[in-house]
Amino acid sequence: MRITIVGCGDVGMALARHWQQQGGVELALTTTREERRAPLARLAERVLVLRADDRDALAAALADADVAVFTLAPSGDQAVDAPTYAATYRDSFASLVELLPQLPQLRQIVYTASCAVYGDAGGDWVDESTTPEPRDDHGQVLLESERLLQGCRTAERAVCLLRLGAIHGPGRQLLTRFRRLAGTIRPGDGGSHCSWIHRDDVVGAIAAAVADRWDGIVNVVDDEPLTVADLLHRVCTAAGWEPVRWDAGQPREQPPADRRIRNDRLRSLGYRLRHPRLQLPALRRLDTSLFDRVAERASQSPRLRQNHNLHAEPDPVQRFLNVLQPGTYVRPHRHRRERPGAGFECFVVLQGAVGLLLLDDRGEVIHQERLAAGGPVHGIDLAEDQLHTLVALEPDTVMLEIKEGPYRPASDKDFLATCPAEGTAEAVSLEACWRARFTED
């Protein structure tokens, strides 16, 4: 079988990789960017750099093709205007319509369309029989593009329009996409519904559509439409981020479309979703964005430091970020536990640098270590019953600390009584002396 994939972005490339591994397919791929020719050449017999609205170039790409798969998308990562949409979709299919008399061998056209054509259903369910009512010029362009393709159907040529939900998966991770919303206040109540589909199921549905020669419209979405509020709650919970809050009284220029999309036809055609619902990894990223937020709180704190716990107080292992600013005073202390050896503490510097000082019972320094994200010493595993303190040597210093729990405030630290308490003038002076030890030649 000879297949041309027109518009080989993320989905098209994954599809080409699938067919290459499956075998029995002769592939031609198109892209609008010359720099993508080399990586695509490893997946296909032919690679052409073209715009699909260029009729002559499109004719060359589809010459001898049995199946044409259009996985088009506007160039760039930013939102594009309706005229750019029109050039990408409608103008490309207008060129295809003109070319069809030259392509008698073309027996199927598959197009990754969009559920955006349905518009707003007020939260009701929609399926392939629902009359499309686009809400904006972008949706109208997509609907006009679909109608151009539907006019290409004949007794010998099938036309399959796969209306996709929002795509997630490799390169489109939800934790990355929604990171900036954590802790924000959003207008409305988040009650509108959205439908999603994993990138691998987009590839699987296209491959099934070609293998079984699907015809007509098929919604390609997973089994579980989610409200936006539920989606963001799941994302923030999985990543350990501050939740998104909603303000129903805050006006919105245009509420999002609210529709729940059925995938009954997809299932009736025999396709079984690999990812029938969103599954979010339970992980929390220790990234620079988190460091910056905690560092800002540390700089505003009278103590000039701030913990960000990764554990709950009852957990048997305490693990947390400790962000320190120069000038913070950590009163010398040691950790003692009922079980011998359980009073250890592990420090690893992830950003900036600290000075670690070990003291005797009189408060005299017996050892010092400079710990820095850039090394050569990055961290220390400190045995129990060892008196110690820390000084911040660089602004926004971030440490990962690990020690045994659960956390009991009354007994967690045994402070050295001869050293001043926090908030005193003596503490400020002592911290400055300790920090100076690390700046002396």
Under 8 Å between Cβ of 112 and 145? no
Instruction: Report the CATH number at residue 336.
Output: 2.60.120.10
- Confidence band for 20, pLDDT divided at 50, 70 and 90: very high
327 phi, psi to nearest 5 deg: 105, -15
Statement to judge: residues 258 and 299 lie in one domain: no
Q: Are residues 21 and 161 in the same domain?
A: yes
The yes-or-no verdict on residue 441 having pLDDT over 50 is no
Domain count, the chain: 2
Q: Which phi and psi angles does 221 have, rounded to 5°?
A: -140, 165
Are 196 and 78 in a shared domain? yes
What band does 341 get if pLDDT is binned at 50, 70 and 90?
confident
**What average pLDDT does the segment 198-202 reach?**
96
What's residue 79's pLDDT? 61
34 located within any domain = yes
* Single-letter code of the amino acid located at 17: R
Q: What is d(CA 149, CA 155) in angstroms, rounded to the nearest whole number?
A: 14
Indicate if 248 and 355 belong to the same structural domain: no
* 234-260 residue pLDDT tens: 998 888 888 999 998 887 777 889 999
Cα–Cα nearest to 108, from 234, 207, 233: 207
- Residue 301: both structure tokens together: 């704190």
Tokens standing for residue 424: 């005193």
Claim to verify: residue 57 and residue 177 sit in the same structural domain: yes
Q: Which of 82-86, 234-238, 341-345, 367-371 holds the top average pLDDT?
A: 367-371
Region 393-409 average pLDDT: 90
Domain boundary among 268, 299, 317: 268
Report in angstroms the alpha-carbon separations of 399 from 142, 287, 344. 51, 13, 16
Q: pTM of the predicted model, to two decimals?
A: 0.77
Mean pLDDT of the chain: 92
Residue with tokens 């990586």: 39
How far is it, in rounded angstroms, from Cα 88 to Cα 75? 9
Examine the domain organization and report whether 428 and 377 are in the same domain: yes
In a domain, 124, yes or no: yes
Q: Do 124 and 263 belong together in one domain?
A: yes
Helix ranges restricted to H, 348-437:
425-436
Where a domain ends, among 236, 268, 300? Answer: 268
- Strand (E) or helix (H) holding 141: helix 137-150
Q: What percent of the chain has pLDDT over 90?
A: 76
Integer Cα distance of 90 and 112 in angstroms: 13
Contacts (Cβ under 8 Å, ≥6 apart) of 163 = 113, 114, 115, 117, 118, 128, 217, 218, 219, 220
Specify the pLDDT at position 280: 83
Same domain, yes or no, for 224 and 317?
no
Asked if 365 and 437 count as a contact pair (C-beta separation under 8 A), the reply is yes
Assess whether 255 and 301 both reside in one domain. Answer: no
**Same structural domain, 218 and 309:** no
Residue 42 lies in a domain: yes
Give per-residue pLDDT as tens, 296-309. Answer: 999 999 999 999 99
What residues make up the domain containing 324? 288-436
CATH number for position 21: 3.40.50.720
Q: Which two tokens stand for residue 364?
A: 């005299």
